[in-house]
Structure formats: C-alpha cells, structure tokens
C-alpha cells in the first residue's frame, strides 16, 4: 500500500489563531513561496541531507544514517542551531506522520478541540496527505464533528482545489499584494493564482478568512489598500479580513532591515477599510 506520509515540522495542541475555536495545528514542512518576511523561514524547504548541520549540533542529536540525516528528539534541547546553519532554509527536526498517527493525536486531544488546521510551510504542497486525512476524519464516528481547515498561500491551481474542497470546511488564505510586480518581489511568484483561489474558495463557500500582511512602505500604500478593499467588496464586504502587521520575530535576512508595522498605522488602515465598507476587519491582538 502506498499510504501518504506528511513531513511535519511542528504540532500544536492549542491554537486560537488558526480558525474557529481551539485547533490542533499541523505545520507541514516545505513551501512553494520564498517570502523574505517569513517568520518561520526554516519551514520553507525539505532537507536534502547535505549534512552541514550535523557537526553543529551541540548535543549530538543529529546523525547520518545511510546517507540520511536523522534527528533524535530525546537528546535535542531545541537550541535551533541546526536551523541557523542550514544553507537552504530546511529543518532536520521534522517527523513523518501517517494518517493514523494524526488520528491518534486527535483522539487523545478530542475533548479540547473544535477542529484541525493544516498549516505550513505551505500545506497544499502535501495535498494527497491532506485529502486522505480529512476523508478519514469525516468518516470517523468519533471525530467527524471536528472541522477541517487549511491555511494556505493560495498558489494551488483550481483543479487541485476541487479535489480537496469536498472534505474541507474552510480555508484561511493569505494575499501578499495586489500589484503583481510587488507580489513577485515579496514571494517569488505571481499573484494570479492566489487571487483566483480566493474567488474560487469564496464561490464554494469555503473562504473562512482572508489575511493581508501589512509591510510599511510596501503593502500599505493607498493603492494596495484600495485594491484590497475593492477585492473584498467584490466577494462580500462581510468576509473576515485579518490584518497582520509585519514584525521581525523569526525573520532572517534582508527583511530584518525593513521597518516593522506599528499599531497606530495598522489601526488607521483598518479604519480606512472599515469606512470603505468592510464590516469584518480584525487587527492583531499583539505586536511582537
């Protein structure tokens, strides 16, 4: 049997920012964007077993077994030295999960959960696993009241969305920018598919929330904000829109020289969007 496996960088049993209620969140490793503003850059790429991180590990938690880098979580003290030295933004500390592993986690934490969210990296780069997992949840008597959500950058093409939406209750979608040149600068990709995904998900009734990252001097221009307002209004002015404010926490490289987004400016833009008719604009609860 060829059971799908997921490469998971982290599991949270408690998250109140990844969809409705408390959610178990699975962070999958690997992304098809490469945003300089990413606050989890070590989730971007899959490890190529180059071995560079192995001698750097102070506790000996990393070894090479038959050409593969192996991580022993019992010895690891989570210093994250390996993440710092990896030349490609990968992570040697990932775990492989099959569907049953995740179902077991859900059983164990069921009384605390409203649902599960697959995040990333970019969740949809491991689409087969998501479909298998969500299908299993929906057909499990004890788990089927859990809602199944995906947190996505929207780069998945239309046909692929169609394969996962029947077992998906909602998607949180990031829009990085409306100007396509700016979008390419911020993500390395064009925004056409992202905008199309937003419309497709909305039409399917599965767009739970749109997210927009405010970066001073880049995505906070009046033109961008106007296009954001127009785009949301064209869907439904009550669509939940979460404004995120760019901060340096976790960021690596060039974007550390970019200014952070401050609370008053975020509030001002939220107010502008509200006066443009959007009725469900959410601002960050905290700026760190």
Q: CB neighbours of 30 closer than 8 A, spacing ≥ 6?
A: 7, 43, 44, 45, 46, 120, 121, 122, 125, 126
- For residue 286, the partner it binds in another protein, ligand SF4, none, with Cβ less than 5 to 8 A by kind, is another protein
Q: Long-range contact list for 193-200, CB < 8 A, 24+ apart?
A: 193/154, 193/155, 193/156, 193/157, 194/153, 194/154, 194/155, 195/154, 195/231, 196/158, 197/152, 197/154, 197/155, 197/156, 197/158, 197/161, 197/173, 198/154, 198/173, 198/231, 198/235, 199/235, 200/158, 200/161
Min dist. Cβ of residue 229 to another protein (A): 21
Which one of ligand SF4, another protein, none interacts with residue 52, CB within 5 to 8 A by kind?
ligand SF4
Which C-beta is closer to ligand SF4: that of 31 or that of 164? 31
282's contact among another protein, ligand SF4, none, with CB below 5 to 8 A by partner kind, is another protein
Residue 95 lies near ligand SF4 (rule: CB under 6 A): no
φ/ψ (deg, to 5) at 64: -110, 120
β-strand pairing of 207-214 with 170-175: parallel
Closest separation between CB of residue 221 and ligand SF4, Å? 36
Q: What are the residues binding another protein (CB under 8 A)?
A: 12-17, 20-23, 109, 111-114, 282, 285-286
Binding of ligand SF4 by 100 (CB under 6 A): no
Regarding 68 and contact with ligand SF4 (CB under 6 A), the answer is no
Element (H, E) at 71: strand 68-71
User: Which of 287, 250, 249 shows the shortest CA–CA distance to 267?
Assistant: 287
Q: Which does 90 bind (CB under 5 to 8 A by kind): ligand SF4, another protein, none?
A: ligand SF4
- Near ligand SF4 by CB under 6 A, which window of 18-26, 88-96, 191-199, 232-240? 88-96
Please choose, out of 5-13, 31-39, 76-84, 262-270, the segment that lies near ligand SF4 by the rule CB under 6 A.
76-84
Burial of residue 3 (CB within 10 Å: 0-12, 13-18, 19+) is: exposed
Residue 21 touches which member of ligand SF4, another protein, none, C-beta under 5-8 Å by kind = another protein
Which of 150/156 has CB closer to another protein?
150
Identify which of residues 14 and 180 has a Cβ nearer to another protein in the complex: 14
Using CB distances below 5 to 8 A depending on partner kind, what does residue 109 bind out of ligand SF4, another protein, none?
another protein
The kind and range of the H/E element at 254 are: none
CB 148 within 8 A of CB 115: yes
List of residues contacting ligand SF4 (CB under 6 A): 47-53, 56-57, 59, 61-62, 69, 71, 76-82, 86, 88, 90-93
């Amino acid at each position: 049997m060829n059971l799908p496996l997921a490469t998971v960088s982290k599991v949270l049993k408690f998250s109140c920012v990844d969809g409705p209620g408390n959610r178990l969140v699975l962070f999958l490793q690997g992304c098809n964007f490469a945003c300089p503003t990413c606050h989890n850059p070590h989730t971007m790429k899959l490890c190529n077993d180059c071995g560079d991180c192995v001698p750097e590990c102070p506790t000996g938690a990393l070894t090479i077994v038959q050409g593969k880098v192996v991580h022993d979580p019992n010895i690891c003290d989570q210093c994250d030295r390996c993440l710092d030295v990896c030349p490609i933004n990968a992570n040697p500390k990932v775990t492989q999960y099959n569907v049953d592993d995740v179902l077991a986690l859900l059983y164990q934490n069921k009384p605390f959960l409203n649902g599960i969210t697959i995040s990333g990296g970019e969740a949809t780069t491991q689409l087969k696993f998501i479909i298998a997992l969500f299908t299993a949840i929906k057909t499990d008597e004890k788990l089927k009241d859990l809602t199944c959500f995906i947190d996505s950058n929207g780069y998945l093409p239309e046909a692929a969305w169609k394969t996962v939406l029947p077992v998906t209750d909602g998607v949180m979608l990031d829009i990085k920018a409306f100007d396509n040149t700016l979008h390419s600068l911020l993500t390395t990709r064009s925004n056409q598919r992202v905008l199309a995904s937003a419309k497709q998900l909305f039409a399917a009734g599965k767009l739970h929330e749109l997210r927009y990252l405010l970066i001073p001097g880049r995505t906070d221009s009046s033109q961008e904000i106007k296009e954001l307002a127009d785009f949301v209004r064209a869907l439904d002015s009550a669509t939940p829109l979460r404004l995120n404010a760019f901060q340096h926490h976790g960021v690596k490289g060039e974007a550390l020289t970019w200014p952070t987004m401050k609370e008053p400016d975020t509030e001002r833009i939220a107010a502008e969007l509200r006066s443009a008719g959007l009725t469900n604009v959410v601002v960050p609860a905290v700026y760190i």
